[in-house]
């Protein structure tokens, strides 16, 4: 019994003293799925091979993988911006459980932002700007309590801005401009209480159906609707007038023709 416990303790000690550079199964799952989901047509992802996914960090905690940074033997930053990448963001990105910064900006990624990002409890930076991502902004991002940067500008995101995102007290940069978002701008972001930074119109511009403070009031839209109705009515009236004058001219012409014909006829007719 005692010997058993001792052996158990010894083996635990052995596990604890294994150096950092040993593979982490969740990082391996994360990197493997990420590499499968991404297409790299210009071969920018140096060293992104299965052997390196099993052991992405060396003893000095630097990564072998292009764009990856390690800390204590775990992947903690992925900066794969501007690499001509295509494909989608796999839900398994959440297996990189120590991830602090995810920057996939300025690529050609498609598909949704996986709500599984919610399990990245250390995530502080999320930059997915300038891609072709669609679907809605997952409200679950609120569970990443350390988020201080959310940059999703220049995508094709639809739906509302989740008002829960206002609960992220560390948020210092928020940009969802140039998407296809709709609905009211949550005051939890635009008119935050206390000393929390507020996000101005720059964060929200370029979304056709988004409205409310701090965007300028929708007056221009109302006017343009009026203008369209006006143009419609105006052109309707114009075509009515045009066709009326057309009919008039036709009537006049045929009247004159008839008169001439009549004249001819009367000319041929013998005078009594």
Residues interacting with ligand NAG, by CB under 6 A?
Answer: 25-26, 29, 46-47, 64, 66, 81-82, 92, 94-95, 105-106, 127, 129-130, 149, 151, 173, 187, 191, 193, 200-202, 213
Q: How far is the CB of 87 from ligand NAG (least distance, A)?
A: 17
CB of 104 to ligand NAG, least distance (A): 9
Secondary structure (3-state) at 66: coil
Least distance from C-beta 236 to ligand NAG, angstroms? 41
The residue assigned the tokens 């120590």 is 98
By DSSP bridging, strand 101-103 and strand 125-127 are parallel
Beta carbons of 104 and 80 less than 8 angstroms apart? yes
> Minimum distance between the CB of residue 229 and ligand NAG, rounded to whole angstroms?
30
Output 26 or 163, the one with its CB closest to ligand NAG. Answer: 26
Q: Residue 22 or residue 201: which is nearer to ligand NAG going by CB? A: 201
Q: How far apart are CA 162 and CA 43, in angstroms?
A: 36
Residue nearest to ligand NAG (CB): 105
Least separation in angstroms between CB 76 and ligand NAG: 16
**Least distance between ligand NAG and beta carbon 200 (Å):** 4
Specify the residue, 130 or 179, whose C-beta has the smaller distance to ligand NAG.
Answer: 130
- How far is residue 184's CA from residue 115's CA, in Å, rounded to a whole number? 22
| CA gap 243, 162 in Å, rounded | 54
Pick between residue 94 and residue 100 the one whose CB is nearest to ligand NAG.
94
Cα separation of 68 and 250, whole Å?
80
Q: Is 142 exposed, middle or buried (0-12, 13-18, 19+ CB in 10 A)?
A: middle
Closest to ligand NAG by CB, 96 vs 181, is: 96
In the bound state with ligand NAG, the residue whose beta carbon lies nearer, of 40 and 151, is 151
- Cα 138 to Cα 19, 29, 182, 254, distances in angstroms: 37, 23, 14, 71
């Amino acid at each position: 019994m005692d010997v058993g416990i001792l052996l158990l303790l010894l083996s635990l000690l052995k596990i604890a003293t294994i150096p950092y550079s040993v593979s982490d199964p969740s990082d391996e799952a994360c990197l493997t799925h990420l590499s499968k989901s991404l297409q790299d047509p210009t071969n920018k992802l140096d060293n992104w091979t299965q052997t390196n996914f099993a052991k992405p960090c060396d003893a000095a905690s630097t990564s072998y993988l292009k764009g990856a940074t390690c800390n204590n033997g775990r992947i903690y930053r992925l900066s794969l911006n501007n690499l001509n990448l295509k494909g989608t963001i796999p839900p398994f990105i959440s297996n990189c459980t120590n991830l602090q910064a995810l920057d996939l900006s300025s690529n050609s990624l498609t598909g949704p932002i996986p709500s599984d990002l919610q399990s990245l409890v250390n995530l502080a930076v999320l930059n997915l700007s300038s891609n072709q991502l669609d679907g809605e902004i997952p409200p679950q991002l609120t569970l990443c309590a350390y988020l201080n940067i959310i940059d999703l500008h220049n995508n094709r995101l639809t739906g509302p801005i989740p008002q829960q995102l206002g609960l992220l007290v560390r948020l210092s940069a928020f940009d969802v401009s140039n998407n296809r978002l709709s609905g009211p701008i949550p005051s939890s972001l635009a008119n935050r209480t206390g000393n929390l930074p507020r996000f101005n119109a720059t964060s929200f511009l370029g979304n056709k159906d988004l409205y409310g403070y701090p965007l300028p009031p929708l007056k221009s839209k109302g006017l343009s609707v009026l203008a369209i109705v006006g143009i419609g009515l105006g052109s309707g009236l114009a075509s009515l007038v045009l066709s009326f004058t057309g009919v008039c001219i036709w009537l006049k012409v045929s009247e004159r023709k008839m008169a001439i014909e009549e004249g001819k006829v009367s000319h041929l007719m013998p005078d009594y």
